Structure formats: structure tokens, C-alpha cells
Amino acid sequence: MQDAILVQDLSKRYDAHEAVKGLSFAMPRGATWGLLGGNGAGKSTTISMLLGLLVPSAGQIQVLGHDMARDRFRALARMNFSSPYVALPSRLSVRENLRVYAHLYDVPKAERRIEELAASLSLGEFIDRPAGQLSAGQKTRAALAKSLVNRPEVLLLDEPTASLDPDTADWIRTRLENYRAESGCAILLASHNMAEVERMCSHVLMLRRGQLVDEGSPEALVRRYGRDDLEQVFLDIARDTGTAAGAAPGGGERRATDPTVADLREEA
Ligand SMILES: Nc1ncnc2c1ncn2[C@@H]1O[C@H](COP(=O)(O)OP(=O)(O)OP(=O)(O)O)[C@@H](O)[C@H]1O
């Protein structure tokens, strides 16, 4: 079976700064993998290249067998993305947002799909309120609904539970695990929450200064580093160069619009 994501010798250079250097990995379908690293390690840059938003300086990416350099629209139709740093259009209600995204992804029986998502993600109490007026937890649920609207086979998540209380974060993780179990979707998760990664991910890619410095299952990494948990392993790896303290030369900015949809719109 084809890999969900196949990355070979991927690099991205911003002027003099090499944000991703020679990254290679093959992520199978149906798996949840973690993409970890300190601030500025290259996680968002990698995700942006996987979405076809940033053009790699070198290397190849295939998603579900589609070459992102030549055939990215076929891949984009089968994947989706969520990040707390990418807001839904704020004046539209959650339902209106979901209708727009369902239309962009050409989702069959869109109203039925929206009702399914409203039920499984408990959107009922706020589905007709403007997205800009929701609490952080409600926004995350609405963003998750958007990211599942096209029943993606590959889901890229950038810090899916950032700024959520532990109960809401746990609720979101359970919904993601349920979706993966019922759909066979592959999930690549960039996160700073090591307990979340230990719970959800069968395999972890550890980045430091744009390079893959280690990988393996959380249990294998904990054993290899002689530590008690993944957080300690993370600190061992990140502190090797001091990047865990938050130094991020160049200070890359988050995107203000949803990249996947921007691309689909470009196609239309
Ligand atoms: N548009 C850009 N122009 C120049 N440099 C950039 C740009 N975007 C990111 N960078 C730099 O590339 C490196 C990797 O950034 P990236 O945002 O991918 O890291 P990250 O692992 O997602 O970090 P964080 O955990 O802080 O979100 C950083 O040094 C960053 O400053």
C-alpha cells in the first residue's frame, strides 16, 4: 500500500537560513505520527511544504501517491489541515463556514455532512453564532469540524490543543482518535504537548534546527535516552543546541488564512 506521506531529502531555505535540511520519512496510512522540535525547529515550515504552500528548495513530497510538485490539487482534495493560528472567517457563522468549505471541497450531501459533524463534535449550541465570537475551545471544535468536512485521508494538525483546558483538550484528542479509528486517516501532529504525543502517536519525528535528529515510537525513544517520559527526551534533544528556550531567528509569521482552501480557490 502507498504511504500516506513520503518525504525524500526535503529542504527549505529562507535566504541564508536553512529552516529544513534533508528531511526524509515515510508515514503509513492509518497512523498518527508526531512532528516534534523546539521553537524554530522547522515544524511549521515542513507542514507548509506538505500542504504545497511553500515550494521546497530541494527534495520530493508525495501525499497518497500524488507528487506535490506536479499533482498537488488531487492530494489537497484528500487531505485537510487545522491550526489554532488559522482562524475561520469571523463574521460567518460556524454553519456558514462549514458550507463554504464543503463547497470548496465539493463535498457530496454537504448539509448531511455538516449535521454529522455538528453531532459528533457537539457544535449545536454555537453552530449559528459568528465564528469570531466563540471561546477558544469552541473555535477549536469549529476548526476541527472544518478540517474533517471532506473526510480527509491525511490530516495535518499544528498544535491542535494549544490554549485549551485539560478537559477540552482531552475531548478533542478523543474525537481525533475516533475519527482515525473509523476512517483510517493518517494524522501528522505538530505539538509541544508531550503527554498528548505519548498518548496519540505511534511514531515521533524529532527535529532540531531543521534536521531530523531522531525518530521512533515514544516508548522506544524513552528507553533509548534512559528517561522516564517523552518530555525528558524532548529536553535532551532540544537543549543540545539551546533551541528549546524559544530562539527563532527570523521570526516566521503565522498565516492569516487557511492555506488549503486558498489553494483550492486558486484552482477553481
Ligand atoms: N517566512 C520566513 N522567512 C524567513 N525565515 C523563516 C520564515 N518562516 C520561518 N522562518 C524561520 O525558519 C525556522 C523554522 O521556523 P518554523 O516556523 O518552521 O519552526 P517551528 O518548528 O514551527 O517553530 P514553533 O514551534 O515556534 O512554531 C525558524 O528559524 C524561523 O525563524
Question: Is 225 a domain residue?
Answer: yes
Cα(first)–Cα(last) distance of the chain, in Å?
31
Question: Is 82 a domain residue?
Answer: yes
Choosing from 17, 48, 213, 241 the residue with most ligand 1 atoms within 8 A of its CB, the one to mutate for a pocket test is 17
Question: Is 215 a domain residue?
Answer: yes
Question: Is 77 a domain residue?
Answer: yes
**CA-to-CA distance for 142 and 132, rounded, in angstroms?**
11
∠ CA 258-260-262, rounded to 5°: 65
**CA-to-CA distance for 209 and 56, rounded, in angstroms?**
16
pLDDT tens string 64-81: 999 999 999 999 999 999
Choosing from 11, 21, 39, 45 the residue with most ligand 1 atoms within 8 A of its CB, the one to mutate for a pocket test is 45
pLDDT tens string 10-30: 999 998 899 999 999 999 999
**CA-to-CA distance for 258 and 256, rounded, in angstroms?**
7
Is residue 211 within 8 A of residue 36, CB to CB? The reply is no
Provide the pLDDT for residue 241. 41
**CA-to-CA distance for 36 and 205, rounded, in angstroms?**
6
CA 198 to ligand 1 centroid distance, Å: 24
Domain residues for the domain of 43 are 5-86+152-267
Helix (H) or strand (E) segment spanning residue 257: none
Q: In the predicted model, is pLDDT for residue 265 greater than 80? A: no
Provide the pLDDT for residue 249. 32
pLDDT tens string 145-175: 999 999 999 999 998 888 788 998 999 999 9
Q: Give the closest residue to 161 by CA, choosing from 149, 144, 184.
A: 144
Q: What is the CATH number of the domain that holds 254?
A: 3.40.50.300
Number of domains in the chain: 1
**CA-to-CA distance for 1 and 198, rounded, in angstroms?**
26
User: The cell 471532506 sits on which residue?
Assistant: 150
Query: Any idea which of 3-7, 25-29, 247-251 has the lowest mean pLDDT?
Result: 247-251
How far is the CA of 60 from the CAs of 2, 6, 67, 197, in angstroms?
A: 15, 8, 8, 26
Q: In the predicted model, is pLDDT for residue 121 greater than 50? A: yes
Is residue 207 within 8 A of residue 192, CB to CB? The reply is no
Q: Which atom of ligand 1 is nearest to the CA of 48?
A: 18
| Model pTM score | 0.87
* Residue 129 banded pLDDT, cuts 50, 70, 90: very high
148/85: higher pLDDT: 148
Question: Is 222 a domain residue?
Answer: yes
As to burial, measured by CB atoms within 10 angstroms (0-12 exposed, 13-18 middle, 19+ buried), residue 53 is middle
Provide the pLDDT for residue 83. 85
Q: In the predicted model, is pLDDT for residue 262 greater than 50? A: no
Question: Is 124 a domain residue?
Answer: no
CA 18 to ligand 1 centroid distance, Å: 10
Question: Is 99 a domain residue?
Answer: no
Residues 77-98 have a mean pLDDT of 92
Question: Is 130 a domain residue?
Answer: no
